[in-house]
Amino acid sequence: MKPMGTLRQIDGVGRTVIPAGIRKALDLSAGSLVEFYMEGDSIIVKKFPPTCTFCNSNEDLIFFKDHMICKSCVEQLKK
């Protein structure tokens, strides 16, 4: 992976902007989930692959009350 060094400031409420080139390279758009974790004194931001809360499937997902649920599990819940 090619290093993409860009400086960004953190605003008064702790936000920063992910540079457009990085968002494009990782196919991140509004609503995409990212995971934050620490490694030593570094903050790692990683694209988070959404999966179903119940079965871990990553196909036909629906976002419902802060949870990702696949259509198959939604059908099972209806029963």
Tens digits of per-residue pLDDT, 18-66? 999 889 998 898 888 899 999 999 999 998 888 899 999 989 999 888 8
First to last CA, the chain: 46
Domains and CATH numbers, the chain: 1-48 (2.10.260.10), 50-79 (no CATH)
Q: In this structure, are residues 58 and 51 in contact, taking their beta carbons and an 8 Å threshold?
A: yes
Q: In this structure, are residues 22 and 4 in contact, taking their beta carbons and an 8 Å threshold?
A: yes
Q: What is the pLDDT of residue 40?
A: 95
Q: What 3-state DSSP class applies to 24?
A: helix
